[in-house]
Every structure is written in C-alpha cells, then in structure tokens.
Amino acid sequence: MSLVDIQGVNLVPGYLAGVTRQMFHISATLDAAGELCGGVFDIITAGNISKIGFRTGTVTVSDTLKISLQTVDPATGRPTGTLIDADAFGTQGSLSSNTTYWVSLQNPVAITQGRTIAVVVEFDSYAAGNLQILYGLQNYSSILYPYLFSFIGSSWNSIGHSINFGIEYDDGLIKQINNTLPGVSTGGISWDTNDNPDRRGLRFSVPYNCRMIGVRVLVNPSANFDIEIYDNDGVTLFETISVNSNLVGSSNQRYIDRVLVISRELIKDTSYRIVLHPTTGTNTTLYALSVINDGANEAMNAIDGGVNMHYTTVNGVPSTEGDYTQTLTRRPMIGLILDQLDNGVAVCDFPAVGDVEKGVEYDDGNRTGTFKEPGIANVKEGVEYGASDTEFTGTYPQNAVTGATVVGQDTTGTVTGE
C-alpha cells in the first residue's frame, strides 16, 4: 500500500474544523414544573441503548430529574412528549453541581441507525428544584442540525450548537453521535517554563497510514512556546516548532496552524506525541475538554479519535516512555494536519516461476509454511525429506542447488549436493 495526495488537507480529529476558540457550556436553568431542555439528533449506531449521560451546572436546590428518549414532531421540531419505547426513561436525584451522570433506562431500548430522536431532561415531579443543565456547547460547532431546544417559563427556544449528552449501549460501549459530546467539561490549562510538568499535550495514534504535514493547537498565545513532536518511543524528537507570540493575528484564544519543515509518515496504530513547552516565565494556555467515564467505560470513545487521543505530560526532556503520565479522560485541543492517506492498494512481490511450490508462503529470504515433497528439480541443499507427498512444517532456505542428488525419495532421506 502507498500514500497518495488528497488534494488538500484533512484535520484530525474532524471537529477541529468547527472549533473556533475556547468552548463554553450552554446552560438551561430549570426551576419550575414543565420546564425542560435537550437535543435532537440522528442515531449513528444501531443497538440497544441502556444509559443516557448528562451534566449539571450549578445546583442551587436538588430535585429528581427524568431523562428520556422521545419522538420529534416534524411540524415544530420539538419533542412530542411520547417515549420512543415504554422503557425509554430513567430518573436521577441527589444532584450535585458540575457533575456528569449516567442514568439507566428502565430497560435497554432497541434503536436503528438513522432514526431521529430527542433527549429530554425535565423534572420527574417538580418539588422545589433550582438547577442548571449544561446541555450544549458553544464554539464546538455552529450548525443547523443536530440542535438544542429548551422550554423555560412559557417560551420554546432552539439553538444550533453541539449537544452535550452521551449514549451508552447495553454492550457497555459509549458511542459517538455526530456533533455531540458525552457530557463533557471544558477549560484551559495554564503553565510556564518553571512549572512541573513543563511539557503537556497530546498522545495519539490513527488507524491508518498517513502523512502529517502540520499541527493545529488551540491556545491563548500570551507567551512564546515550542511545539515538540515525538516519535513512538516518546524520546526521539521529530521536530521542534517555535511559536513567537508576536507573530499571531490576535492575543485571544484561537487556533495556530504550523507547517512542519519535514513531513512525517505516521504508521497505523502507533502512538506519537505533540506537546507544548513554554519557553518563558509567562503562562501559555492550552484548551481541553474532559469526560466522566461510566465505571470502566471510556466516554472518550464517543468523541472523534476515541481514547487513542488523550492528554500526556512529562517534566523535562524525556529519556524513556515511562517518564510520561497519561490522562485518558482529558483531550487537549491539538490535532494533525494530513496531506496524504493510504490508498488501500496492496503492493506484492511475487516469487519467480521456478520457485513456486504448493502451500508455501514466501518472503525475501526464507520460505515459511507447510511443504509437500518437491519434485527432483526443486530439491534444496541440506533439506531432509520423508515419504512421497508427506507434509513438512518449518523454515527452509531458498538457496539454489546445482548438481544435487536425491537419496531415498519415497523414504526418509537426505539431499546431497554442493
């Protein structure tokens, strides 16, 4: 297989094309009977949904919430109040501020790919609740669909921003919904060259061979810093890109795209690192998002790139892979700019006609596999053969033999020759 130009670039993870600056939660304050919020989206993965993940903001007074999956009215775009299945709801009480909850439905609910549904959060039976639901994200992407909705007071409202709910299936996997995040929290990570750790960034792998031509980082560029790119051993430094805080278009948080001096081929399922290293005593701020797992289940898998893209830190110049610390529940806003992808076309080296034998696997120097007794013309020097048509297993040298004589072809014998 070989790498080919894609006539442009790809950003990995894909959401990097939509995020413009630091992400902020969109909240709805529920403090009266009948108030609700949620999001409308299409199901990507067919299966049986068992849990819904959501996140609270400030909880002034706790109450019991009902979280449900409902049908959508095509005339209004609002939830109908009708469950997609009699078991498609769960409840959550004893709420705390700024907490992600994974709520079990009454029983797993079967769902098909492409079905449009609404996640709805409301009071189960209003008592005295006063609390925020962080049901969306601003600056993750501004889109028309999927979308958010709320009914607060007496007014319906729809917003074209990303949804902050998670879907867990009965196989224990938390899976992706397009332009939706699984109840995440967001924020900035600020540090300078004197802090420990002094290098912080992204550890990543991709499931295909490709070529990286540049990197993208979401930062507040208030001070100079280096972008360091490391090979899979965590020690070999591919390249250092120095960022001058004076050579940017704004002092506010934005993406910085930088091109490598030497493009780097990335091997599938191999881990690499992109880390930021401040070079002054003034803070650099890198933005990130974090997930809350449901037990051992990886909520990060519901975000582009999955758990194979996560936060990594090291203090000082690394001397071994073991110097790093990984946080699988945090994702820094760092990504790859790719200009070549594997075309998926296999490239094969075939043996010469005279070397081909039944059941033999070839490589450059040895033949490994199951062998049947060859004809006299194919006898190799130093190989012991058994009775006619007997199978042998092992590695056999591929050296040509001239002047060889076969002894005992139908019984155990030895090839003699040069």
CA distance 66 to 229: 46
Where in 267-356 does DSSP place strands (E)? 272-278, 284-290, 309-314, 325-327, 330-332, 334-342
Which residues contact residue 206 at a Cβ distance below 8 angstroms, ignoring those fewer than 6 apart?
A: 12, 266, 268, 269, 308, 336
Report which DSSP code applies to 250: -
Same domain (yes/no): 80, 226: no
Contacts of 266 (CB under 8 A, 6+ apart): 206, 209, 210, 211, 212, 272, 336
**Is 21 a member of any domain?**
no
Burial (0-12, 13-18, 19+ Cβ within 10 Å), 179: buried
**Is 18 domain-assigned?**
no
Domain finish residue from 183, 205, 223: 183
153 plus 177 within the same structural domain: yes
Residue 308 lies in a domain: yes
In which domain, by residue range, is 380 found?
353-416
Please tell me whether residues 223 and 173 are part of one structural domain.
no
Distance CA 216, CA 17 (A): 10
Percent of residues in the chain assigned helix, strand, coil, to nearest 5: 5, 55, 40
Looking at residue 124, which CATH number applies to its domain? 2.60.120
Q: What is the DSSP letter of 289?
A: E
Tens-binned pLDDT, residue by residue, of the chain (418 aa): 689 988 888 888 887 766 767 777 889 999 999 999 999 999 999 999 999 999 999 999 999 999 999 999 999 999 999 999 999 999 999 999 999 999 999 999 999 999 999 999 999 999 999 999 999 887 666 678 899 999 999 999 998 888 899 999 999 889 888 777 888 888 899 999 999 999 999 999 999 999 999 999 999 888 999 999 999 999 999 999 999 988 887 767 778 999 999 999 999 999 999 999 999 999 999 999 999 888 878 888 888 888 999 999 999 999 999 999 999 999 999 999 999 999 877 655 555 555 555 555 545 555 555 444 455 555 555 555 455 555 554 555 444 444 444 444 444 444 444 4
Domain-terminating residue out of 183, 201, 236: 183
Q: Quick check: is 2 in a domain?
A: no
Does residue 348 belong to any structural domain of this protein?
A: no
Is 255 in the same domain as 299? yes
DSSP character string of 369-400? EEEEPPPGGG--TT-EE-STT-EEEEEEE---
Same domain as 358, residue 225: no
| 79, 155: one domain | yes
How many domains are there within the chain? 3
Same domain, 324 and 407: no
- Rounded CA separation 36/30 (Å): 7
What CA–CA distance (Å, rounded) separates 50 from 341? 37
d(CA 275, CA 314): 9
Identify whether 1 is part of a domain.
Answer: no
What CA–CA distance (Å, rounded) separates 59 from 166? Answer: 20
**Same domain, yes or no: 193 and 166:** no
Residue 347 falls inside a structural domain: no
| β partners of residue 69 | 119
* Domain-embedded: residue 22: no
178 shares its domain with 260: no
* Domain co-membership, 136 together with 195: no
Any idea how long the chain is? 418
Q: Judge if 197 and 317 occupy the same domain.
A: yes
Q: Which of 133, 154, 183 is the last residue of a domain?
A: 183
206 and 311 assigned to the same domain: yes
